[in-house]
Every structure is written in structure tokens, then in C-alpha cells.
Amino acid sequence: MKLLRYGPRGQEKPGLLDAQGRVRDLSAVVPDIAGEVLTTPGLARLRGIDPASLPLVDGTPQQDLRLGPCVGRTGKFICIGLNYADHAAESNMPVPREPVVFGKWTSAICGPNDDVEIPRGSTRTDWEVELGVVIGTGGRYIDEADAMDHVAGYCVVHDVSEREIQLERGGGQWDKGKGCDTFGPIGPWLVTADEVPDPQQLDLWLEVDGHRYQDGNTRTMVFGVRQLVSYLSRFMSLQPGDIIATGTPPGVGLGQKPPKYLVAGQAVRLGIHGLGEQRQRTVQA
């Protein structure tokens, strides 16, 4: 299934994408794409519904029908840094021996086509396409062998970053440089895990103003999805709706020679094979 949330910002309704690419309304079935809806029993209930029996929503998604973040009421937005060896190299940092973990504030979350704001005073706002893992069934101390049973599905994440704040301000504070408003577009939809046979074989890419900067595959991750879910569960309870952004392949602005960064008025397009695309316009905050 491809689950989504549609409508005006802050008033999104739950829906799903049918086989013809149309949005069907789930409002009479579930309150949101969130919480218990994402657990194994919750998703099983949705799979038992014939999409044709659901009301058809007017409009074409990502054109004249706005899509919001594909997951609601996210409790934790957990990010993994330097999880592609070639991205670590372009960042002039060593390949990590354990996952580098930081967080985005949930106030950074926005829809897949919402404007991305360049923070006031920023000169080094950067792009990063990432595979997002959405937790379904929660847990602690999860064995790697069982980790995939806790995954509801996957989505595209744009991990927008302000490099000066992240790497230089206050001695380097990743959370502060990663969590600005609009720095976490997710979606367009949550693709349930049963439709993604191998999350370690997904092409992902990103373009700015039509120029492709990132073109990678999740098979080159240092730590795969199974390892990350298990690892993170040692340090925190994973809960339904938590999002894990699993790192970015090479090609970020910081790694260009000379470096390139986002400015207001640009068009960013990114996607992951089978998970959809995002398109954003950059604006000044």
C-alpha cells in the first residue's frame, strides 16, 4: 500500500493511493496515518479494504492536490550521519565504526512539495536525499533478526542541512544545523514494507535546477536498515510513527568543488525508486 495524508497544512486527512494513481479517502476508517494504524494489526486492517470502496478525492496528488507529511504525530525524527562511505570521504570525515546518531526537531517536518526555507543569515544550506524508515511495531533491545518486523514502511526524506551551524557554530552542533523549520520534507507517501522486497537495493537521486548532483543506491550504506533499527533500540524505545533517516549518498553541496549551496528561488527535485518523488522551491525565511 501507498499511504498518504492530503489537504491544507495542519488539516491533513488520511488517504491511500490507488492503482490508478488517485487518492482515496480513509477518514471514515482511521483518524490519521499515525500511531496504532502503523502497527502490524493496523496495516493488516487497511489491506483488507477494497480501495474502490473508498471515496475518491478530487485532484491529482502533487499537482492540484497538496500532500502533507506521509506520517502524522511523529514522536522522534532520528537521523544517521555519514552512512555512505563515499559521502564520509567527500565530507573529509572518517567512516564511522558505529552509527552516527542525531535528531531533527519534529517541527522541521513538512510535506514533500512544500517550500524549503533558507534560514535568515544562512549561506550554506545544503541538500541530502535519504531513505526514510517508518517504525510500525515499537520495541526496545530489538534483535537484528527481528528488526524488519518492526518496520511499517519506507518513504523519501530530504534531510536539508545548514553546514555552518552544523559544523562550526558552537563547536559543531548537528541537531541545531539540521532542525530548522521545513528542513524535513517527507513523502509523498509511505510505501508499506511488503512492497519493498529489499530496502538495500534502492536507487536514490537529487537534482537542483535540473542538474543531478546525487545518484546513489542504498546497497552502499555502511549500516543497513536491519542494523540501524536494532542499534537504535538499544538507546531508546522505538515507537509507531518514528522516522529514521538513514543517511545520504555522495553529491551534497558541501562536497562540490567548489562547494555549492542552496539560495532562494531554486527548484529541488529528488526521489527513490518505487517510493516516489519530491519537488520543492527554496524561499527566504
Number of domains present in the structure of the chain: 1
Per-residue pLDDT of the chain (285 residues; tens, 9 = 90+): 999 999 999 999 999 999 999 999 999 999 999 999 999 999 999 999 999 999 999 999 999 999 999 999 999 999 999 999 888 788 887 889 999 999 999 999 999 999 999 999 999 999 999 999 999 999 999 999 999 999 999 999 999 999 998 888 776 678 889 999 999 999 999 999 999 999 999 999 999 999 999 999 999 999 999 999 999 999 999 999 999 999 999 999 999 999 999 999 999 999 999 999 999 999 999
Q: Indicate whether 36 belongs to any domain.
A: no
C-alpha cell at 65: 492536490
Q: In what order do the strands lie in the sheet with 77-81?
A: 23-25, 13-17, 2-6, 190-192, 151-158, 129-135, 243-245, 77-81, 100-104
Q: Is residue 132 part of a domain?
A: yes
Q: In this structure, is residue 166 part of a structural domain?
A: yes
In a domain, 51, yes or no: no
Residue 15 resides in a domain: no
pLDDT tens digits for 215-256? 999 999 999 999 999 999 999 999 999 999 999 999 999 999
Does 17 map to a domain?
Answer: no
Question: Which structural domain range is residue 204 located in?
Answer: 71-284
Q: For residue 154, what is the domain's CATH number?
A: 3.90.850.10
pLDDT in tens, 130-171: 999 999 999 999 999 999 999 999 999 999 999 998 888 776
Sign of CA dihedral 114, 117, 123, 124: negative
- Note the pTM of the prediction, 2 decimals: 0.96
